[in-house]
Structure 1
Amino acid sequence: MFYVVLLAMVAAFLALRLYSVLGKRTGHEQQPLPRAAEDRPSAVPVAPRPIDAAPEARDPVSRNIEPRAEAGLRAIIAGEQGFDVSQFIGGAQAAYRMTLEAFWAGDEAALADLAEPDVVQAFGEAIAARREAGETLENRLVSIERAVISDASLDGREARITMRFDADIAAVTRDAEGNVIAGSLTDAVETHDVWTFARTLKSRDPNWKLADTDEE
């Protein structure tokens, strides 16, 4: 009983830290694996820069806010002054990892806490198809090489922030007998995901939920 209560407390804590939820596409079940994960350089954290930094001060390689997102972010900050851009980026990266891991594991309960209903439904359908085929995934997020806010908007109190994640993912798909039918955990795929998170500002729910996903 204590173990169950402890798990519930951990789940509640993680839910409060989330800034996301799932989208409409997965894109991480079977992909070509061009190079070994150990050959890739480890991710280097990108230091956040102020939104109002002068254009000449921006490093196009390391900045984590694209110019077209700045007006939307200013509107969101004005609409809810407790909003912190760097904290959002860190939370979005954590949510990206947790969402992928929940999907790969087929944990629909965890996904329900992370995504908006239509996204949860889409992920649930993909999980159901995988189960019907008797397939399992052994995927691993090797690293998030870069996380960038590519767009942001505010419509009334409805805020949306789009993140682009450049990541390395190692993937294995097994059949019902446990045989590997695709992928390798010793290799990594470069992925470029575009996820949009949404939230109603000044609402009691502090969590941003994943409203849409896409790939570049």
Structure 2
Amino acid sequence: MTVQIVILAMIAAFLGMRLYSVLGRRAEHGEEPVQSRFDANAGPTGGAAPAGAPQAVPAPAARVRDMAPFQPAVENGLREIANADRRFDPAAFVEGARGAYRLILEAFWRGDKDELVHLCDPEVARSFAEAIDARVAAGEVPDNRLVRIEEAVITAASLTGPDARIAVRFVADIAAVTRNADGVVIAGSLNDAVEVRDVWTFRRAVHSGHPDWMLTETDVD
């Protein structure tokens, strides 16, 4: 197994993190939209809707129906979640998940433990820290780049009690390179991206006052 494959496997093995975001939530009338760190267009001067022009919020069923066709079980699950949390928006959730996917991978690759602490449960943060420490001890420095996310599709959704669970399949191109302590490439190539197919499952208590989604499972599609 090449070092490149090991690195990608480590990502799948250790991801189980808490996402401090507002994935899949849209403001109701009279609410200020909350801009998440995962919003693709977020910035210090992000645009706002004109004053006095509130946007109508579609009914939960309409927001589900507006997306691409789902398998019946997935659509039913999304409807149940949307009915339990009327601000839930599947399209916004997917966009937020795409941003989270990039943010998490890049934080892990650059070994940013402080950033990962803010994104992970303590146990998962420790796992990430251990993986980073092992990488450092081996004298390996990843120089990876998420070239593009080709696909982000909801593949499963369910509501069990207060817990909403949504699985998203990501198909992404990653240019993976490993360098030694002297900066010499020992594996991979930035000119040859590898297709990676991951399935991440997010969970959130729909009645919680906090908009936190937790990444509870990762798998390779």
TM-score by length of 2: 0.68
Question: Do residues 17 (structure 1) and 17 (structure 2) align?
Answer: no
1:92-131 to 2 correspondences below 5 Å: 92-131=97-136
Cα 1:117/1:199, change in 2 over 3 Å: farther
Query: Secondary structure of 1:209's match?
Result: strand
Cα 1:145/1:67, change in 2 over 3 Å: farther
Indicate the residue corresponding to 2:91 in structure 1.
86
- Would the aligned equivalents of 2:21 and 2:213 in 1 still touch at CA under 8 Å? no
How far residue 13 of structure 1 moved from its aligned partner, in angstroms, is: 8.8
Question: Do residues 51 (structure 1) and 64 (structure 2) align?
Answer: yes
CA distance, structure 1, for counterparts of residue 181 and residue 164 of structure 2: 43
Question: Do residues 189 (structure 1) and 194 (structure 2) align?
Answer: yes
Indicate the residue corresponding to 1:134 in structure 2.
139
- Would the aligned equivalents of 1:144 and 1:165 in 2 still touch at CA under 8 Å? yes
Question: Do residues 205 (structure 1) and 210 (structure 2) align?
Answer: yes
Indicate the residue corresponding to 1:158 in structure 2.
163
How far residue 119 of structure 1 moved from its aligned partner, in angstroms, is: 3.1
Cα 1:190/1:183, change in 2 over 3 Å: same
- Percent sequence identity over matched residues? 50
How far residue 138 of structure 1 moved from its aligned partner, in angstroms, is: 0.7
Gaps of at least 5 residues in structure 2 are 1-19, 23-33, 39-61
Indicate the residue corresponding to 1:147 in structure 2.
152
TM-score by length of 1: 0.70
CA distance, structure 2, for counterparts of residue 113 and residue 201 of structure 1: 21
* Matched letter for residue 212 of structure 1: E
* Matched letter for residue 212 of structure 2: N
* Matched letter for residue 132 of structure 1: A
Query: Secondary structure of 1:112's match?
Result: helix
CA distance, structure 2, for counterparts of residue 162 and residue 13 of structure 1: 16
* Matched letter for residue 124 of structure 2: V
CA distance, structure 1, for counterparts of residue 35 and residue 120 of structure 2: 14
Query: Secondary structure of 1:121's match?
Result: helix
Gaps of at least 5 residues in structure 1 are 1-11, 20-48
Query: Secondary structure of 1:186's match?
Result: coil
Q: State the Cα RMSD in Å.
A: 2.6
- Would the aligned equivalents of 2:77 and 2:158 in 1 still touch at CA under 8 Å? yes
CA distance, structure 2, for counterparts of residue 203 and residue 137 of structure 1: 38
Ranked by relative contact order (alpha carbons within 8 Å, sequence separation 6 or more), the top structure is 1
